[in-house]
Amino acid sequence: MEKENLKQIEQRILMGNEAIARGLIESGVTLAASYPGTPASEILQAVAAFAKEEAIPLHAEWSVNEKVAFETALANSYTGRRAAVSMKQVGLNVASDPFLRSAYLGVKGGLVVISADDPGPHSSQTEQDSRFFAMFAKVPVFDPSSPREAKEMVDRAFELSEKYEIPVMIRPTTRVCHARQNIPLLTPERLAQGAHFEKNPGRWCATPQYLKELHRGLNQKIEEIAGEEDFYPILTPGDDSFPGACIIASGVALAHTWDLLEEMRLLRRLDLYQVTLPYPLHRAFINNIKGRYQRVLVLEETYPVIELQLAVDQVQGRGTKMVPGAGELTPEVIRPVIEKFLDLPPAPAVISLGGEATRPTLCAGCGHRAAFYAIRETFPEGIFPSDIGCYTLGMNLGAVDTCHCMGAGISQAAGFYRAYAATGEKVPPIVATIGDSTFFHAGVPALINAVFHGARIMVVILDNATTAMTGHQPTPETGPTARGETAHPVLLADLVRACGAGLLKEADPYDLPGFMDLLQEAGEYCRGDNGGVAVVIAKHPCILEREARKHQPVLEMCVTEDCTGCRHCLDDFECPALYLDEATDQVVIDGARCIGCGVCVHVCPAGAIEAKAKDQS
C-alpha cells in the first residue's frame, strides 16, 4: 500500500489504550471491533473518538462478544482492508476458536489482534499470558513497554501482517494500557482500501485435506519472521563490569528494569536487551546469547515465553525460580532479583505500615444492591451462582457464591440443580444472577440449554441498561453503536421468551417488597409440577449514568431514634452511605454519598429509616 508522508502534528498526553487507538487510526484501520473488558476497554472508544476528530469513516463496533468481534474483523481483512480487534486476555479465550484457525488460513488486509494482559491480576479472573497464547497459535506478538511504544508497534504490526498474510498480536499489559504519556501524533494515513474478496475455497473454507499444507506454510512464515532483521532485540551495551552476564527483558518489565538499573547506577554496566517481538524470538539472537553469555536473566510477564524459546542452560528466570512464578513484576519484585543475579547486597526492604485497603462495593443507590438483598432475604437457604461485572460485588451481601467466567452463572446453576436433583435430596432454591451485557455475551446459549434440559432454576438478569464495570459501553438493547449511531435494539425480554423460559417477569428492584413477591412467585414456579427455568429481569439503570439519575426521585433520608444499632442495614445491605456512629451506637446517613434512593427504608427491621420528599425550594 502506498503511503503519504507521515507528518507529526502535535504532542498529546494519551493513555496507553488511546495511544493504541491513535496508532490504528494513523495506520489506516478501516474496521475495529471489540468487547469491553479491563484493561482493554478504552481502545475501541478512542478509535471511535479519533475517527470522529479526523473525519475518517471507519466502522467501529462493540460486538456482542470477542469471538464475534474477531470474526467480523477477520472477514474485513479477507477483503484486503486493514482491521483490528481488541479485548482483554480472557476475551481471547472466547475468541480462541477463530484466532487459532486464522493463523493457518492467514489474512489479506492487515489484521492486528490486541489482547491486553493483566499481571497481578488487578481486574481479571486469571493472569494468563497472551504471548503464550500467540506462541500456541503460531502468531507473531509484539510486547510494548510504554504507551508510546505501543502506538509505534501498531504500524509495524500491520506491515508484518500484510507482508506475511498472517494475523499479528500486540500484547499490552495493564501498566501500558492504563499509563499516560506525552506522545507525538502523526497525520493519519488515508489508504485506498476498496473491498475485494477473492474467492478461494481451498483457503477460506480449508477442509482437512488443505490444512496440512496451510500448516506447513504457517511454519515457513514463522521461520522467516524469526530471521527478520527488524525484530532483533535492542541492545543497550554494558561496560563489562559484570563479564559474561546480561539481562533480557520485554514489555513493562523492561521499563521497570531500566528505571531500577538507573537508580542503582547499573545502567550501561551490563548488556541489556529489549525484546520487542517475544514470539517468534529472533533465531540469530538465540544463537548469540548461547555463545556470548554465561549468565542470562530473563524478565517478562507473566509466563516464560522468551525463556522457553531460549532454552539454554545459562538462563535464570522462572525455570530456576529466580523470578517468582506468579504475580506482577513490580519494581519491588524485580529489584531483589537483579541484586541476587548480580551478587549485590540487598537494599533494605521498605516496610509497609500494614494499613488495610478498602474493599470496593456497589455504589450507593445501585439497583443491584436492592436485587441482591431481595434474593438473599427471600431465599436464605439458596445457592447463588453469579457472573462478571459490577454485580460480582454482590459477594459483599452474601448473594454471590460463584463467579467463574462470562456466562457461567446460568450453566453452573443448572449444574447445581442436577447435582442435588440426582441425589434425591431437597433441592435448595438456586438463583443465578447475570448482567444484561453478560447475558448477551454468553448467557443466551446457557439459558437455552437450561430450558431444554428442564433445570429448575431462577435466573435474575440484572438489567442496568449498560456495561457499567468497564466504563458504561452500550448494550444491544440500549444502543447506540460505538460511533454513536442509532442501532436496531434487541430486547432482553424477547430473547428470554425466544429461549423458552417458562416464566418471565420484569420489575424494578427499588420496590423491594414487590420484587420479593416476584421472587417468591418465581420460586414457586420452579418447584411446581411443570416447573423449569424462571427468569426475572431486574430493571434499574446504573445510577452513574447522568440521564438515569434525572428520572428517579431524590428523597430526603433520616434515621430516627428508633435505630437499635442491630447492624442489619450495614452487614446485609451494605450501602456505603450508611455507617455506625460509634458514640451513639446508631446508624447515620452520609449526606455526601447518599443519593436518596429510599431503598433502605424497606431494609430496617425497626422501621427507623425514614424518607420524605425533598424540599424543592
Binding residues for ligand SF4, per CB under 6 A? Answer: 362-366, 368, 390, 464, 468, 542-544, 557, 575, 577-578, 589, 594-600
Q: Which does 495 bind (CB under 5 to 8 A by kind): ligand SF4, another protein, none?
A: none
Q: Which does 108 bind (CB under 5 to 8 A by kind): another protein, ligand SF4, none?
A: none
Among another protein, ligand SF4, none, what binds residue 542 when CB lies within 5 to 8 Å by partner kind? ligand SF4
**For residue 97, what is its C-alpha cell?**
476458536
Candidate list 82, 175, 318, 602; residue touching another protein; CB under 8 A: 175
Q: Is residue 258 a contact residue for another protein (CB under 8 A)?
A: yes
Classify the C-alpha dihedral 563-566-567-572 as positive or negative.
negative
CA within 13 Å, CB half, 291? 6
Out of 350, 485, 513, 551, name the contact with another protein by CB under 8 A. 350
Task: Using CB under 8 A, pick the residue from 3, 4, 6, 11 that binds another protein.
Answer: 11
Q: What does the buried/exposed string (b/e) look like for 189-211 if buried means 16 or more CB atoms within 10 Å of the residue's CB?
A: bebebeeeeeeeeebeebeeeee
| Of residues 44 and 492, the one with the C-beta less far from another protein | 44
Q: Quick check: 55 binds another protein (CB under 8 A)?
A: no
| Nearest alpha-carbon partner for 93 in 55, 149, 136 | 136
Q: Grid coordinates 438489567 are at which residue?
A: 463
Rounded-to-integer distance, Cα 363 and Cα 593, Å:
9
**How far is it, in rounded angstroms, from Cα 586 to Cα 566?**
8
Q: Which stretch binds another protein (CB under 8 A): 180-188, 279-287, 421-429, 491-499?
A: 180-188
- Taking the C-alpha atoms of residue 482 and residue 590, their distance in angstroms, rounded to an integer, is 37
Footprint (CB under 8 A) of another protein, residues 263-292:
263
For residues 331 and 607, which CB has a smaller minimum distance to ligand SF4 in the complex? 607
Q: Which stretch binds another protein (CB under 8 A): 64-72, 387-395, 404-412, 499-507?
A: 387-395
* Residue 178 interacting partner from ligand SF4, another protein, none (CB closer than 5 to 8 Å by kind): another protein
**Minimum distance of another protein from residue 180's CB (angstroms):** 4
Burial of 11 (0-12, 13-18, 19+ CB in 10 A): exposed
Q: In the complex with another protein, which residue's Cβ is closer, 177 or 427? A: 177
Q: Which three cell numbers stand for residue 190?
A: 488515508
- Taking the complex as a whole, the smallest distance from the CB of residue 13 to another protein amounts, in Å, to 5
CB atoms within 10 A of CB 590: 12
Minimum distance from residue 459 beta carbon to another protein (Å): 23
Radius of gyration of the chain (CA): 27
Which DSSP symbol is given to 430?
Answer: B
Instruction: Kindly provide the b/e burial profile for residues 316-349, where b requires at least 16 CB atoms within 10 angstroms of the residue's own CB.
Output: bbbeeeebeeeebbeeeebbebbbebbeeeeeee
Q: Determine, following the binding rule CB under 8 A, whether residue 146 of this chain makes contact with another protein.
A: yes
| Size of interface with another protein, in residues (CB under 8 A) | 51
- Site for another protein, rule CB under 8 A: 11, 13, 15, 38-39, 41, 122-123, 145-146, 175-176, 178-182, 252, 254-260, 263, 330-332, 335, 350-363, 390, 392-393, 469-470, 576, 592
